[in-house]
Amino acid sequence: MNSLSPASVWQRLALYAKLIRIDKPIGTLLLLWPTLWALWIAARGSPDARTLAIFVLGTFLMRSAGCAINDFADRDFDGHVERTRERPLAARLIAPWEALVVAAVLALIAFALVLQLNSLTVGLAFVAAFVAASYPFTKRFFAIPQAYLGIAFGFGIPMAFAAVTGWLPFTAWLLLAANIFWAIAYDTEYAMVDREDDRRLGIHTSALTFGRFDVSAVMLCYALTLLLLAWVGAREKLGIAYFGGLSVAAAIALYHHRLIRHRDGAGCFRAFRHNNWFGGAIFLGCALDLYY
């Protein structure tokens, strides 16, 4: 009977909340910003409120589901890493099947939202779900899984264009490519924190693949991100506010170089979290440009 008491139910829900990182919104924001770039550009600054709400809520749900799948995939690794050993699944506070159920419920709710959009968007949602679910397993064999993460975190881009315009223009693919390079940049910063643990466990990450060129690779990826976004601005005839946003993002990227150049774990993690401002600066420039 105690297992069904209100207190135990709330304790379980608290563990599920920790599983999906309710207390750590940075992942949701890194997924949300490129989706908002795409929505604003596709809708020329005036996205429909209903479509916007579906994408914002769907982003939160799919990121949360992705966290549950990630912890399921990494349940035998996370307990050996200082930063992740307290995660509910790694600490054996919940069972693996519970993580799968949580992920499935969240994904189904997100899919129910997508069903309100057109058929092209619904079709893309199946691809997005596959990419999100398979990403955690790429760390077993892919030298730069962060590139695959960029596709997973950026799939809201083609979905946004599909929902607003009914097709996928070249601009959508440019934005997705930009997001891939951005994800390699910020997730390499993240991976630099766990480099030695990942090496010991045999996990593939870009931080290990790039080796002593990791800092240079991060900065190159930021540069490629901004170049692709500048190409988007030129194609879409965006103006000074948009390019001003890119300039602010470039300054933020240079600040990240200062944080990561000595490969200090705290500095690398701070740079990773600071990417919220990078994505936000680009969105603000985009929104202001299209508004005026």
**Long-range pairs for 193-201: beta carbons < 8 A, 24 or more residues apart:** 193/83, 193/265, 193/268, 193/269, 193/272, 194/81, 194/83, 197/80, 197/81, 197/82, 197/83, 198/81, 200/80, 201/77, 201/80, 201/81
pLDDT digits (tens, 9 = 90+) for 106-133: 999 999 999 999 999 999 999 999 999 9
In this prediction, residue 7 carries a pLDDT of 65
Write out the two tokens for 184: 């390699």
pLDDT digits (tens, 9 = 90+) for 237-251: 999 999 999 999 999
- The percent of residues above 70 in pLDDT, for the chain, comes to 98
**In one letter, which amino acid is 202?**
G
pLDDT digits (tens, 9 = 90+) for 197-227: 888 888 889 999 999 999 999 999 999 999 9
CA-based nearest residue to 160, from 286, 274, 24: 286
With a threshold of 0.75, does the pTM exceed it?
yes
In this prediction, residue 1 carries a pLDDT of 39
CA-based nearest residue to 96, from 65, 68, 64, 133: 68
In this prediction, residue 78 carries a pLDDT of 82
Residue 146 maps to a domain: yes
**Residue 172 contacts by C-beta under 8 Å, 6 or more apart in sequence?**
38, 42, 157, 158, 160, 161
Residue 6 maps to a domain: no
Instruction: Give me the number of domains the chain comprises.
Output: 1
In this prediction, residue 4 carries a pLDDT of 56
Residue 6 — very low, low, confident or very high, per pLDDT cuts 50/70/90? low
**In one letter, which amino acid is 230?**
A
- Spatial contact of 218 and 262, defined as CB atoms under 8 Å apart: no
Write b or e for each residue in 163-180: b if 16 or more Cβ atoms lie within 10 A of its Cβ, otherwise e.
bbeeebeebbebbbbbbb
- What would the mean pLDDT of 18-33 be, rounded to a whole number? 94
pLDDT digits (tens, 9 = 90+) for 40-50: 999 999 999 99
**Residue 140 contacts by C-beta under 8 Å, 6 or more apart in sequence?**
203, 204
Residue 72 maps to a domain: yes
In this prediction, residue 74 carries a pLDDT of 87
* Phi/psi-derived region of residue 47, left when phi > 0, alpha when psi is between -120 and 50, beta in every other case: beta
Residue 7 maps to a domain: no
| Containing structural domain, residue 58 | 12-291
pLDDT digits (tens, 9 = 90+) for 75-96: 888 887 878 888 999 889 999 9
In this prediction, residue 2 carries a pLDDT of 46
Residue 271 maps to a domain: yes
Query: Helix 170-193 crosses helix 240-260 at what angle (to 10 degrees)?
Result: 20
Residue 3 maps to a domain: no
CATH number where 20 lies: 1.10.357.140
Residue 242 maps to a domain: yes
Q: Give the helix ranges, DSSP H, for 202-264.
A: 206-210, 214-235, 240-260
Give phi and psi for 130, each to the nearest 5. Answer: -65, -45
Residue 4 maps to a domain: no
Q: Is the pLDDT of residue 73 over 70?
A: yes
More confident residue, 91 or 277: 277
Residue 281 — very low, low, confident or very high, per pLDDT cuts 50/70/90? very high
